[in-house]
Chains A and B, each alone.
Chain A
Amino acid sequence: MSHPQLASIFNKDEKKVNWHDKALWFVRHKRDMSVHHVQGWEELRNLGHGIKAHMLSNLDAYLEEFEANAKKNGVEVHWATNAEEHNQIVHKILKENNAKKVVKSKSMLTEECHLNPYLEADGIEVVDTDLGERIVQLAKEPPSHIVLPAIHKNKHEVDELFQEHLGTKPCDGDPQYLTGEARKHLRQKFIEADAAITGVNFAIAETGGFVVCTNEGNADMGAHIAPIHIACMGVEKIIPKLEHLGVFLRLLARSATGQPVTTYSSHFKKPKADKKMHIVIVDNGRSEQLSRPDFRASLHCIRCGACMNTCPIYRRSGGHSYDATIPGPIGSILSPGKDLSKHSSLPFASTLCGSCSDVCPVKIDIHAQLYKWRQIITKNTPQPFIKKKSMQMMGNIFAKPKKFEKIGKIARWSLRNLPKSLINSKPNAWGKARDLPEGPKQSFDEWYNERKQNKNS
């Protein structure tokens, strides 16, 4: 289904949409309050952008440097060209170690690769340990936001889910109680786990180490208890030097939730003597995206989710309407590069207002890329008849000032005089669930000329 179709399903529950909209706008507001206190914030964003751009222009060398250093640290490094190979590698490591129970902290990459069903098919239990991810896992749904995976669920739904799966008491959705119960339930999973899988926020070429950021402490509870730690990363997670963490850790949490930094920023480098550490480096379409000059900056993304929180479309259509691992504005410029026809409606899920680009901590020109994808998609995928025809008509009108003036006059008159039943009739998409403004008497041109004349006289 296309984005508009899925969005209209989400929009059936108006109260929920309003809550979703306000909750995310509040997170955006917290981001603002936090970043406005940082002296040199814009300079910090420039640095984030510059370091990532430099990294991409030398990515092969940095990957080799990272691998060499990680190996020196006693870490095993694996390479996967695609999702399938990634899943096979992780599966093989687990098999070799006879691991049956796995705890996993948040990793959008393993979502992208659909690792869980792959492992579950072989009888391996995979438990997502981030609270939001556990909630959507129990509900058998994908996350709807990269930082707030269960933002589309209300507390009563969580209450019911936990009663069913964790045997909790009805609590009218008390978040304190539910979180406490989840802590107990997942504590048991941590203690019993044979292996832990985590994502990677930043991988440092110069040290061969990597950093994982969480607020809950779930990545560390998994990685330090289980005998095996597997960290999965996309190739673009590399940063050249340790000192660059100073830039990215200052940007990440403030942009994501408005916190000055995440509760835990864990720096993994060498495994303990009695433990094993693996890193799986995954391409899965990233090197392809690197070849596109207009879109390669999308690989700068540090997954803070700020573009989702600020997006007027995302807030009102929900993450699931994007039908992609990464939803929202950033997802809409990443996904078409993977499958143009499946994701062809996503770059249109935007007003091109540019707010996403304004809040992006690494200054990705998201809205400009959305526009560029539209040009490619319109050429390469079949467009609806009405849209095609109306675009041709509009193009014709805009190209001829005399005609534009005449039709403008008729349109303004129609808006003032025709009945609403006609104006808001079906072919007019702009009249769907929305009243059009009353047509002004003057066009802008007329108003402007009149003003000029009055000034002169």
Chain B
Amino acid sequence: MGSRAEILAKIKANKPESLELPNIDPLIFDEGLNLVEEFTKKVEVVGGNVREIKSNVDVISHVKTFFPDSKVNFSTLEKTTDFNTLDLASIKSPQDLEDLDVLILESDLAVAENGAVWVADSQLPFRVLPFITKHLVLVVSKKHIVPYMHQAYQKLNNAPTDFGVFISGPSKTADIEQSLVIGAHGALSLTVFLKS
């Protein structure tokens, strides 16, 4: 008997009688959040910044003032090709993205309760982009903020993706004597632009 069959047979023999799967009722968690307010608060709690803007054009001008010295930039927003200094066609492997300073991505899902923004594969020519960049900028419409993770997964159920990640704040660690340090292996800073 192979290991697969052995493991499955043992589990089948040892498992308890079938128990019912509980049903999730998202309404019991609902406290009528002000979505923009709560989302902004939570992003700040986890070490990120939030700016409200009118359109994508504002993003670039803001980013240029935030990161005046950035050399290698990449954005997937429409009409921002002037901003891009990175030619993706010349990138052969993820390793070549090591010098990326600023990355701007758009998202259509954010979660108020924890400040998380969903970044899906379709946005990512290379999956390592949002992690390897020094500074990460995410753009999301206010109307795309949902209150809790339950609503987020209702949305994701209808939008399957090969890879996706919830990002809440910049990378961080407290592994040395519990002192919080922003900037571990992923992005050193996170800015979220909320579009009205």
Contact = CB atoms under 8 A, between A and B. Distances in A.
B128 A283 contact: no
A149 B149 contact: no
A50 B21 contact: yes
Contact of A270 (B2, B30, B162): B162
A58 B19 CA distance: 8
Nearest to A81: B3
Interface stretch (A238-246, A327-335, A449-457): A238-246
A60 B45 contact: no
Given A79-B7, A173-B177, A242-B157, A56 B16 contact: yes
A363 to B, nearest CB: 12
Interface stretch (B49-57, B68-76, B109-117): B109-117
A27 B181 CA distance: 16
A259 B163 CA distance: 23
Residue among B127, B179, B184 with max Cβ neighbours from chain A (10 Å): B184
Given A79-B2, A183-B183, A283 B10 contact: yes
Interface string B149-173: 1101110110011111111111111
Given A263-B170, A266-B165, A155 B128 contact: no
A5 B148 CA distance: 47
Q: How big is chain A's contact interface, by range?
A: 35 or more
Interface stretch (A184-192, A375-383, A386-394): A184-192
B4 interface: yes
B132 to A, nearest CB: 7
Contacts of B7: 63, 79, 81, 235, 281, 283, 287
Contacts of A59: 11, 15
A221 interface: yes
Interface stretch (A212-220, A395-403, A428-436): A212-220
B56 to A, nearest CB: 25
B175 A190 contact: no
B61 interface: no
A372 interface: no
A132 B173 CA distance: 9
Contact of B4 (A79, A216, A260, A270): A79
Interface stretch (A7-15, A35-43, A310-318): A35-43
7 contacts: A131-B184, A183-B184, A183-B185, A218-B185, A225-B95, A259-B168, A287-B10
Interface of A: 23, 26-27, 38-40, 43-44, 46-47, 50-51, 53-54, 56-60, 63-64, 73, 79-81, 85, 129-132, 135, 148-151, 153-155, 158, 173, 175-176, 178-180, 183, 186-187, 190-191, 207, 215-218, 220-221, 224-225, 235, 240, 242-247, 249-250, 257, 259-270, 272, 281, 283, 287-288, 290-291, 293, 296
Q: Which 3 A-B pairs have the closest CB atoms?
A: A217-B186, A260-B114, A216-B184
Given A64-B8, A240-B21, A246-B149, 8 more contacts: A47-B22, A54-B19, A57-B18, A63-B7, A183-B183, A191-B95, A246-B150, A250-B114
